[in-house]
Amino acid sequence: VQASIFDVFATHEIGHELKAMSQWLDEHRDLLGLVVRDLGRRGVKATGRQGLPAEAVLRCALLKQYRQLTYQELAFHLEDSASFR
């Protein structure tokens, strides 16, 4: 199992929300199968860099939508905030 991107939580209200989201995702592992299916396109050659694991994609997508972030803002927060990683 990959380490959660929500492993470190601030004591702020947002930190509590992120922890609850992480626990919910941990309890609903069946969602990963849907993400794996969507990411695994048949007929695509395996070239270039290795992508993110399905769990990281799911958690990033949830974080982006929940916090209403742009991709640029998501990238910043993932790099800047231990709570978001």
Q: What is the pLDDT of residues 18-77, one digit of tens each?
A: 889 889 999 999 999 999 998 887 766 777 788 889 999 999 999 999 999 999 999 998
State pTM to two decimals: 0.71
Q: What is the pLDDT of residue 48?
A: 77
Predicted pLDDT of residue 85: 56
- Burial (CB count <10 Å: 0-12, 13-18, 19+), residue 29: exposed
Which pLDDT score, from 0 to 100, does residue 43 have? 67
Tokens of 18: 């992120």
Comparing C-alpha atoms, which of 27, 25, 30, 34 is closest to residue 5?
A: 25
Q: State the amino acid at position 23 in one-letter form.
A: Q
